[in-house]
């Protein structure tokens, strides 16, 4: 079927489709002759979750779509499925602090496909040093990842329970990418009916290391005798003598089927619809998946020119029992913190039959099949209710599925696309025609040095897509946004307050998705009682206000390492929301109480030293010693006091507190320039650390996201900041996805467009996976969301009291256009350029405030024409043009 696209998005598609497309199934690799070789491409678990699957989400629930044709795995999440609680101990462990959880999987198998296998487990109990090197890494279809553990003198046992009993004839191993002596040298494969009594099926001894890294070896079980189907299989690996580690990149049971014809899979960022098409025999099959915000469900639709037959299975991630009736599958459960949850899949078909069979649904002789996946918890972002809604998640899931199932598929799709495009379609960025071909091929060529500005634009749009899909009307985006396939993800997929959650939201207002910042605001407000309790416990009952530790959970519980400036940094997001939107009610009722509470904390906490107020025992996060007056802390407190005073002016508040804040700001120790021209990170020069190339650039907060240092008002400090950033190196001592994004924004603010673009190339080259997820490693979403913010700063800036259009255009983008970016003061900006020069621009005033405009090339005169055709000629003063505006009016800039 075809969807209806708005005219705006038809234009976008014509300029360069917002598609992340693959021309080969998961597991297929490009052969030397230009064709595709096919590994375990149809295996539901051989696909790489982190770098191969593609995300859909409606802000609360989401899924990773693997794109396997005849047997698909749809791994799904609810952003509120968290263990842990208020965590008064302040500990950072999986039990009390808790972590974000995997919800489960929907498996879809068409007749003729082998059964889908879940990942195995380490039954012998060895735990990997790196969380991303557990047994799931041996089932992700990616030879670049591995299961790697220390046996510690014990046999390593890999064990799997299949959804249904099978006879396994073959199995395969893929070697890890390094250290050949860690390859298994002996093992035995065993099977069991009940998981208790085991029989040896195959055994190998005295095996040499694999000849190559990433090499796959296949093993066939001996013939003879009639073997019964088994549900349980295990592999036992005795440790290699004298070798500390065991590793394998992949473990595969069974032989995969062949490659499908005419295969393609596409995530369309314009519509939020994931599509897989392929040919099976004479029939062409299309499967579409999307997460509907309009109906609050995930929808999967199959259509075939022939007839479809197969089965559906729903599996929870916590050992739940799935029930089945004639048209639905469901499970429910309760986590260790008493959070209740439920999931339901309801199905409807056009023709044919649906039937329950044990814990599965079968479908036969249908030309179309629609699945409605509904999932939820009884979480509520309300500390007064102890973060529980009191609602029954079973009833809620069933109710949403019933309402959605009553709609025709075309209606569900139309409702989803229309609602999605209202936000996604606000902004377009065209940097040239997109290159044809598979995204993996494009990315590989780019990493080898080819130019592809349209790929950089796609990365910009992908960041907007991911924020829109993971932050709406529920919890804010965590370290992995909304998506997670582990019950113990890296850093517990928590809310890191020393840059990560803030970076997630840098783009919200400038990329015209201000609504997506509301979950962050609501989470901060809901977390205040827990953070206040933690603050009082640490600093005493008389301490005013509150702040946070570095790690915070979904219930206001504070974990690892105090990060005192965190509350002030988060308060900036409340000010930015007002600065862009002009929402006076929000400023008065939500932002101002936070500004005053956090300011009172800092008025109490600052100490006077040599006539200046300094933050005592501060830290430049993850870098160097603790000492008084660290630049990072000083800059954030100055920022807090400054926007608090600005807010007071907007609210017409002039009281004792604002006077104290004003006096304290004047006495704050400000940014210092060191002996070799650098912006000092500490009050004491430490050249060995300052020149170390560290990944953090904490002492440059005042450049971005703050505005204490900028090129036009503080040129000497800006020059010192640029020297420090240059000395820091391109991405720091260890490549992290977020370092590239922060450096992109910093270079943009410092007027270095080419260096900013070089950071984009660094991210795409070094820290971007095949599905365009950015990796820390492992996958961490702040790089994806932060790079969009950095690109916004390259095109439009508004932090210095003016709207600057194309302030730092790089040479690598000679021609292009952007529409719909937002600027402080309530302006939307469109711009186009040719041969590196601004050719046209239009600004729309949403609030009717005065426009202070700076244009690239610094023309002396411009003509601004209103929508009614009236024109006014303006002369530049101090490099800017000033114009009173009318609310709702657009102004077209005519350049001389």
3-state secondary structure of 24: coil
8 A C-beta contact, residue 147 and residue 156: no
881-883 and 61-65 as β-strands: parallel, antiparallel, unpaired? Answer: unpaired
Specify the pLDDT at position 34: 32
166 CB neighbour count, 10 Å cutoff:
17
Give the model confidence (pLDDT) of 133-191 as tens digits. 999 888 876 777 899 999 999 999 999 998 888 889 889 999 998 899 999 999 999 99
Q: Is 677 left (phi over 0), alpha (psi -120 to 50) or beta?
A: left
292 CB neighbour count, 10 Å cutoff:
24
The Cα–Cα gap between 722 and 731 comes to 14
End-to-end CA distance of the chain: 49
The pTM for the full model equals: 0.87
- Closest to 402 in 3D by CA, of 348, 363, 346, 322: 346
Residue 390 DSSP one-character state? -
8 A C-beta contact, residue 679 and residue 699: yes
8 A C-beta contact, residue 23 and residue 437: yes
8 A C-beta contact, residue 760 and residue 456: yes
Residue 673, CA distances (Å) to 707, 719, 724 in order: 17, 10, 10
- Closest to 644 in 3D by CA, of 701, 597, 714, 589: 597
119 CB neighbour count, 10 Å cutoff:
18
**Which H helix or E strand runs over 148?**
strand 147-149
Residue with the two structure tokens 């919800």: 103
The Cα–Cα gap between 8 and 414 comes to 16
The Cα–Cα gap between 744 and 753 comes to 9
Specify the pLDDT at position 129: 83
Helix spans in 189-288 (H): none
Specify the pLDDT at position 254: 81
Residue 328, token pair as written in the block: 């639905």
Residue 380, CA distances (Å) to 87, 334, 570 in order: 17, 15, 21
Residue 742, token pair as written in the block: 């922060």
Residue 852, token pair as written in the block: 């202070």
Residue 750, CA distances (Å) to 98, 744, 837, 841 in order: 40, 10, 19, 23
Specify the pLDDT at position 112: 63
Low-confidence ranges of the chain (pLDDT < 50): 1-16, 29-46
Full set of structural domains in the chain with CATH: 7-111+264-425 (2.70.98.50), 147-253 (2.60.120.260), 816-894 (2.60.40.1180)
Question: What's CA 342's distance to the chain center, in Å?
Answer: 24
Residue with the two structure tokens 């959650």: 501
The Cα–Cα gap between 461 and 466 comes to 9
223 CB neighbour count, 10 Å cutoff:
7
Mention every residue, 6+ apart, whose C-beta is less than 8 A from residue 151.
126, 237, 239, 245, 246
456-470 in b/e form (b: 16+ CB < 10 A) is: bbbbbbbbbbbbbbb
Specify the pLDDT at position 29: 43
The Cα–Cα gap between 792 and 681 comes to 27
The Cα–Cα gap between 611 and 572 comes to 27
3-state secondary structure of 678: coil
Residue 84 DSSP one-character state? -
485-515 in b/e form (b: 16+ CB < 10 A) is: bbeebbbbbbbbbbbbbbbbbbbbbbbbbbb
Question: What's CA 670's distance to the chain center, in Å?
Answer: 34
8 A C-beta contact, residue 171 and residue 161: no
- Closest to 573 in 3D by CA, of 532, 516, 517, 529: 517
- Average model confidence (pLDDT) across the chain: 92
8 A C-beta contact, residue 156 and residue 237: yes
DSSP secondary structure, 456-489, as one string = HHHHHHHHHHHHHHH-SSSSPPBTTBT----SS-
Residue 184, token pair as written in the block: 């298994």
The Cα–Cα gap between 725 and 625 comes to 20
Question: What's CA 523's distance to the chain center, in Å?
Answer: 17
3-state secondary structure of 34: coil
8 A C-beta contact, residue 856 and residue 823: no
826-848 in b/e form (b: 16+ CB < 10 A) is: bbbbbbbbeebebeebbbbbbee
851-855 and 803-805 as β-strands: parallel, antiparallel, unpaired? Answer: parallel
The Cα–Cα gap between 120 and 234 comes to 9
756-767 in b/e form (b: 16+ CB < 10 A) is: bbbbbbbbbebb
Backbone angles phi, psi at 626, to 5 degrees: -90, 135
480 CB neighbour count, 10 Å cutoff:
25
Residue 668 DSSP one-character state? B
Mention every residue, 6+ apart, whose C-beta is less than 8 A from residue 854.
802, 803, 804, 805, 807, 879, 880, 881
Rounded CA Rg of the chain: 28
351-387 in b/e form (b: 16+ CB < 10 A) is: eeebeeeebbbbbbebbbbbbbbbbbbbbbbebeeeb
- Closest to 63 in 3D by CA, of 375, 321, 520: 375
Residue 471, token pair as written in the block: 């932050």
Question: What's CA 273's distance to the chain center, in Å?
Answer: 18
8 A C-beta contact, residue 819 and residue 427: yes
Specify the pLDDT at position 578: 98
3-state helix, strand, coil in the chain (%, to 5): 30, 30, 40
8 A C-beta contact, residue 347 and residue 327: yes
Residue 119 DSSP one-character state? P
């Amino acid at each position: 079927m075809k969807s209806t696209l708005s005219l705006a998005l038809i234009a976008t598609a014509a300029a360069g489709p917002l598609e992340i497309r693959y021309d080969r199934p998961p597991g297929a690799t490009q052969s030397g002759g230009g064709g595709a070789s096919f590994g375990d491409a149809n295996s539901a678990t051989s696909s790489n979750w982190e770098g191969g699957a593609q995300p859909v989400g409606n802000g609360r629930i989401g899924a990773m779509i693997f794109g396997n044709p005849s047997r698909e795995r749809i791994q799904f999440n609810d952003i509120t499925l968290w263990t842990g609680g208020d965590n008064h101990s302040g500990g950072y462990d999986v039990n009390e602090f808790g972590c974000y959880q995997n919800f489960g999987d929907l498996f879809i198998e068409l007749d003729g496909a082998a059964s889908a296998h879940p990942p195995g487990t380490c039954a012998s109990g060895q735990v990997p040093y790196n969380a991303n090197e557990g047994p799931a890494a041996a089932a992700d279809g990616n030879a670049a990842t591995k299961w790697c553990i220390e046996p510690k003198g014990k046999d390593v046992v890999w064990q799997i329970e299949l959804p249904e009993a099978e006879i396994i004839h073959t199995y395969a191993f893929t070697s890890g990418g390094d250290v050949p002596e860690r390859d298994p040298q002996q093992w035995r494969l065993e099977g069991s009916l009940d998981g208790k009594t085991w029989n040896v099926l195959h055994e190998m001894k005295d095996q040499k290391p694999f000849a190559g890294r990433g090499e796959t070896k296949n093993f066939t079980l001996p013939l003879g005798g009639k073997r019964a189907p088994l549900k349980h299989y295990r592999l036992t690996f005795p440790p290699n003598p004298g070798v500390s580690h065991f590793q394998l990149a992949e473990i595969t049971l069974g032989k995969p089927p062949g490659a499908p014809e005419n295969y393609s899979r596409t995530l369309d960022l314009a519509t939020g619809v994931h599509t897989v098409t392929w040919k099976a025999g004479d029939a062409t099959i299309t499967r579409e998946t999307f997460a509907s915000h309009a109906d609050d469900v995930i929808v999967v639709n199959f259509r075939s020119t022939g007839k479809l037959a197969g089965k559906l299975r729903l599996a929870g991630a916590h050992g739940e029992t799935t029930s089945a009736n004639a048209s639905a599958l469901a499970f429910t459960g309760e986590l260790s913190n008493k959070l209740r949850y439920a999931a339901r899949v309801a199905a409807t078909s056009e023709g044919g039959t649906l039937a329950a069979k044990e814990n599965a649904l079968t479908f036969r002789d249908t030309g179309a099949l629609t699945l409605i996946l509904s999932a939820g918890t009884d979480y509520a972002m309300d500390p007064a209710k102890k973060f529980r809604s009191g609602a029954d998640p079973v009833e809620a899931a069933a109710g949403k599925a019933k309402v959605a199932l009553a709609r025709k598929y075309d209606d569900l799709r139309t409702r989803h696309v229309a609602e999605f495009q209202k936000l996604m379609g606000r902004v377009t960025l065209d940097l040239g025609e997109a290159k044809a071909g598979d995204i993996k091929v494009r990315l590989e060529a780019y990493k080898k040095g080819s130019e592809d500005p349209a790929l950089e634009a796609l990365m910009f749009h992908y960041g907007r897509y991911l924020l829109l899909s993971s932050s709406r009307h529920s919890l804010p985006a965590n370290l992995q946004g909304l998506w997670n396939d582990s019950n113990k993800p890296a850093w517990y997929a928590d809310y890191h307050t020393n840059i990560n959650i803030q970076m997630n939201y840098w783009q919200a207002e400038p990329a015209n998705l201000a609504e997506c910042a509301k979950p962050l605001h609501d989470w901060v407000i809901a977390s205040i009682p827990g953070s206040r309790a933690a603050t009082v416990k640490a600093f005493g009952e008389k301490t005013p206000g509150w702040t946070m530790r570095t790690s915070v959970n979904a219930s206001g519980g504070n974990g690892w390492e105090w990060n005192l400036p965190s509350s002030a940094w988060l308060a900036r997001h409340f000010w930015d929301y007002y600065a862009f939107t002009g929402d006076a009610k929000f400023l008065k009722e939500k932002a101002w109480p936070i500004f005053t509470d956090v300011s009172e904390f800092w008025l109490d906490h600052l100490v006077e030293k040599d006539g200046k107020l300094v933050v005592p025992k501060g830290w430049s996060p993850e870098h160097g010693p603790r000492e008084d007056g660290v630049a990072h802390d000083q800059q954030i407190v100055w920022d807090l006091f400054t926007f608090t005073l600005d807010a007071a002016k907007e609210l017409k508040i002039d009281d004792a507190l604002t006077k104290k804040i004003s006096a304290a700001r004047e006495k704050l120790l400000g940014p210092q320039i060191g002996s070799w021209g650098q912006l000092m990170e500490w009050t004491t020069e430490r050249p060995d650390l300052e020149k170390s190339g560290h990944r953090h650039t904490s002492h440059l907060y005042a450049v971005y996201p703050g505005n204490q240092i900028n090129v036009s008002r503080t040129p000497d400090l800006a020059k010192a900041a640029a020297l420090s950033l240059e000395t820091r190196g391109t991405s720091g001592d260890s490549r992290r996805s977020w370092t590239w994004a922060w450096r992109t924004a910093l270079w943009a603010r410092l007027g270095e467009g080419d260096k900013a673009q070089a950071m984009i190339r660094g991210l795409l080259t070094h820290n971007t996976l095949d599905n365009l997820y950015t990796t820390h490693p492992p996958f961490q979403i702040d790089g994806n969301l932060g790079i969009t913010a950095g690109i916004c700063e390259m095109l439009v800036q508004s932090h210095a009291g003016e709207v600057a259009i194309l302030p730092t255009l790089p040479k690598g983008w000679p021609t292009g256009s952007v529409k719909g970016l937002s600027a402080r003061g309530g302006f939307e900006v469109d711009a186009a350029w040719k041969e590196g020069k601004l050719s046209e621009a239009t600004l729309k005033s949403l609030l009717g405030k005065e426009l202070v405009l700076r244009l690239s090339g610094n023309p002396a005169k411009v003509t601004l024409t209103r929508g009614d055709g009236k024109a006014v000629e303006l002369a530049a003063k101090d490099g800017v043009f000033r114009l009173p505006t009318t609310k709702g009016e657009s102004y077209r800039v005519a350049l001389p």
